[in-house]
Structure 1
Amino acid sequence: MTIILHHLNASRSFRVLWLLEEIQKDYELKSYFRDGVTNLAPQELKNIHPLGKSPVIELNGKIIAESGTIVEFLIEKFASHLAPAKDSDSYLDYLQWIHFSESSAMVPYLLKIFNSIELKNGTELKFLDRYADAELDKVFSYLDQQLAGKKYLVEDRLTGADFMIGFVVYGLINSLGIRSKYLNIEQYVENLESLESWQKAINIENNLV
């Protein structure tokens, strides 16, 4: 039962690549690259899924999209040790953090990136810049507080919640360059970067051709 990961460079697909390296499940990697001018995904991804986005996996002929869905599915099917017991209070925390990653956290993060692009191109921002700054600080200050004294988000061990939020906070520290403000997040990212599975995934990502 081989998994095919349709992987776009510099995308949410890193979550799935990292997870597959962690659970050491056999998979086939099909790589796609962003357009050098538009930075958008190539049209070839639309041949896999109508939205033309990544990650997408294939398993037994079934196409599965959305990184949160893929992470939850792969853990439930192949790596149950990466999730708390379903009858525990920790499982509710786990689900909340998984969905936090693509909702509360991702929105201000992306707005901040898009705003920086618009500002570089001379666009005058009258609302979104202030809104993005306020939302980003609110969301990541909260996350920073929740990470105080912890290496991981849930049960202080590696779970699917870390695979989801890790992509966002890595970008917060590295792409947005926000350092020394959220010290617990910064330490959390350093811990994730020290994991063998993360290093393998980064190495694969950096050597795609």
Structure 2
Amino acid sequence: MGRTDPAQGLLLHSVPPSPTRASGEHRRCGGARPGFRIPATVVGGDSASVVACAVFEAFTRKIFMLTIMHLAHSRSDRLIWLFEELGLEFGRDYEVQTFERNPETQRAPTEMKALHPFAKAPMLRDGDRVLIESGAIFEYMMARHGDAGLVPKSSDPDWPDYIQWLHFAEGSAMLPILLDHFQAAGLAGPPGESPLAAMAKSGMEQLFAYIESVLCERTFLAGERFTAADVMMGWVVEMIDFKGELGPYPSMQRYLKAIHARPAHQRAQRRAAQSAAAGTG
């Protein structure tokens, strides 16, 4: 007899209960992913049971480990950050697979097309499923693996701002950033001189002013508590800082210091660097 776990689509076989334990009693192996238990008949006090537990842990890590497909200095940085904020353990719950950019185009390599036709980072592999789109991955992860308090309830006064900023990062904020990137690369004419350059400049100024106006009045973008929307939007503010354009915006400077001080952000930076140095997680 067995049952299919709806989250993974795998057949989990039951084991008859031990006569010395109450029916249905289970014990968790130390490294098994949350939500997975093995019957008490498999885990006991003898060495054979310890070995069985170790084998089970190795099996579940291999089957159920999440994999982030990562490009250095890309938006996939914030997915590693989210995983750390959610309390997922690097090397146990998730791994990072780093790909090198094409040296000529600076785009994702062709190897990523074997994973998904769009071949863009971030990608998330969960079992046999590969997801793209940062916002979708965020919602998927927090629905499947818990939100660690990073999502206000829909009845919370902060929730409308939360959901707006969660998607603003890849929506309204991204267009002027991309336009500015294209014009600076000379793809629309001499940098700073094309009609696209003027459009990008106007859009960037509007974006900066809007974020600054919100952060003048609150600690984080959705209110006084840190949320997953700050993980999404943190990358945008980091990009503004990377371009050297954060100087006139004291509230964004304060915000950037606050997110950089978070232990999960610091761990994520180390994970990304380690993965890049090793070539894979």
Q: Same fold (TM over 0.5)?
A: yes
Provide the aligned C-alpha RMSD in A: 1.8
Q: Is the Cα–Cα contact under 8 Å of residues 184 and 192 in structure 2 kept in the other structure?
A: no
Aligned positions, number:
207
What's the offset of the Cα at 1:36?
2.1
In structure 2, the residue matched to 1:139 is 207
Map of 1:62-77 to 2, 5 A cutoff? 62-77=129-144
In structure 2, the residue matched to 1:17 is 80
Map of 1:181-200 to 2, 5 A cutoff? 181-200=248-267
Post-superposition Cα deviations, 1:37-91, rounded to whole Å, max 9, x if no partner, equal 2111111111111101111111132111111111122122223311000233322
2:239 counterpart of 1:171: yes
What's the offset of the Cα at 1:126?
2.8
- TM-score, normalisation: structure 1: 0.92
The equivalent position to 1:33 in structure 2, one of 81, 100, 109, is 100
Post-superposition Cα deviations, 1:98-127, rounded to whole Å, max 9, x if no partner, equal 1111111111112222222218x8457431
Map of 1:56-135 to 2, 5 A cutoff? 56-80=123-147, 81-118=149-186, 122=190, 125-135=193-203
- TM-score, normalisation: structure 2: 0.69
Q: Based on CA coordinates, which of the two structures has the bigger radius of gyration?
A: 2
In structure 1, the residue matched to 2:112 is 45
CA distance in 2, matches of 1:141, 1:154: 17
Q: Is the Cα–Cα contact under 8 Å of residues 98 and 161 in structure 1 kept in the other structure?
A: yes
Q: Is the Cα–Cα contact under 8 Å of residues 191 and 197 in structure 2 kept in the other structure?
A: no
Structure 2: state its 5+ residue gaps: 1-63
2:222 is paired with a residue whose SS is: coil
2:118 is paired with a residue whose SS is: coil
Structure 1: state its 5+ residue gaps: none
Relative contact order higher in (CA < 8 Å, ≥ 6 apart): 1
In structure 1, the residue matched to 2:58 is none
What percent of counterpart residues are identical? 31
